[in-house]
Amino acid sequence: MDGIIQSTITEGRNDGFWTDAQGRMVPIEKIKDIDKLRDSVVRELCEKAKEIAKLLSDFRMASMAEVEAFVTTSHEQYGKRLGGTKGNITLTSFDGKLQVVRQIQESLAFDERLQAAKELIDQFIHDQLDGANDNIRALVFQAFQVDKEGQVSTSRVLGLRRLKIDHPVWLQAMEAIGDSIRTASSKPYIRFYQRDQNGKLVSISLDIAAGG
């Protein structure tokens, strides 16, 4: 225990004082042994966690690069080159027991043309709908409500395009919505799977919090 306690005298410790959570300098002799031991355990585990996090980060980047290199090689077999990293890829081992899955998750947003679409929809509602179509009014109202960040729900706005309304103003509005869609961000994910004893593909967890 003494060795563990002594190892805590590192950062935030000088001239016989430790800094507490409020930024106060506390004399070491005033700190209980159990508090010193707790501090040591936390520091030691967090340092190891940071080392593992770095290893996982490096492994993720290397895995992404290796998948990309394989896909490029595979395309070159047919005289084609992969035009970028976009796209979901599933690689399966020869015996079918292992899989590597790369997914690209895109976040969609709308540009200024969404406002034009909203004006066309308002025109359509004002000119064409009567009281029997309050459900459509409600769907439109919900679709264009904004959240705390002032953003509309992408899924609700795009959901309007599934309504079967054959009217030129409405169709023009739907076209404006389609034209206004842009990719706000693109984030790649890589996951690993293996078949269990029942033949079901299960994830190989790299999440320490999730356990084994």
pLDDT per residue as tens digits for the range 140-167: 888 888 877 778 888 889 888 888 888 8
pLDDT tens figures, 119-141: 998 888 877 655 546 777 788 88
Assign 107 to helix, strand or coil. strand
pLDDT at residue 82 is higher than 50: no
Cβ atoms within 10 Å of 10's Cβ, excluding its own: 9
pLDDT digits (tens, 9 = 90+) for 45-80: 999 999 999 999 999 999 999 998 888 888 877 766
- Burial annotation 181-210 (CB, 10 A radius, 16+ → b, else e): beeeeeebebeebeeeeeeeeeeeeeeeee
Beta-bridge partner residues of 202: 194
What are the structure tokens assigned to 157, written together? 């706005």
Angle at 190 (CA atoms; ends 199, 49), nearest 5 degrees: 105
> In terms of pTM, does the model score above 0.75?
no
Write down the residue that tokens 């042994």 correspond to: 33
Q: Which of 105, 100, 106 is nearest to 70 (CA)?
A: 100
Q: Which amino acid is at 42?
A: V
Alpha-carbon distance of 116 to 131, in angstroms, equals 25
- How many C-beta atoms lie closer than 10 Å to residue 73's C-beta? 10
pLDDT at position 52 = 94
pLDDT at 6: 44
* Residues sharing a CB contact under 8 Å with residue 103, sequence separation 6 or more, in sequence order: 88, 188, 189, 190, 191
Is the Cβ–Cβ distance between 190 and 94 less than 8 Å? no
Q: Say how far apart CA 190 and CA 90 lie, in whole Å.
A: 10
